[in-house]
Amino acid sequence: MIIIIMIRKFVNRKEELEILEELWRKEGLTFVLAYGRRRIGKTRLLEEFSKGKDKIFIIFEDKPREYNFKLISRKVSEFIGINVNIEDFPSLFSLLKRLTNRRILMILDEFS
């Protein structure tokens, strides 16, 4: 399932938080794309939503792919407690599926 949330302004985000919480409670994998103009609070919304959840929160940098996958590797290593080297998204998702049976929130912010 893919849900797209268009964010216009950062005032009273109750509705968006409720949607995200409802999706979080569903069984299985859910992919949510939050997009909108720059500087309207998407990251702040995701920070609020992720409070108290097992999460891997990665803010990408405008750097080459290899750099960002090293960043992913470091964040996932910190989360699971062992060093891993991740070179692509299929290996990332496969690793997370094998290593844990708990629900994990993964936020890829500023991903392009």
What tens digit of pLDDT does each residue of 64-109 get? 999 999 999 999 999 999 999 999 999 998 888 887 777 889 999 9
**Which residue stretches of the chain are H helix?**
14-25, 42-50, 65-80, 89-99
> In this structure, are strands 31-35 and 55-59 parallel, antiparallel, or unpaired?
unpaired
Model pTM score: 0.80
Residue 22's SS3 state is helix
| Average per-residue pLDDT for the chain | 86
Q: Among residues of the chain, what percentage have pLDDT more than 90?
A: 49
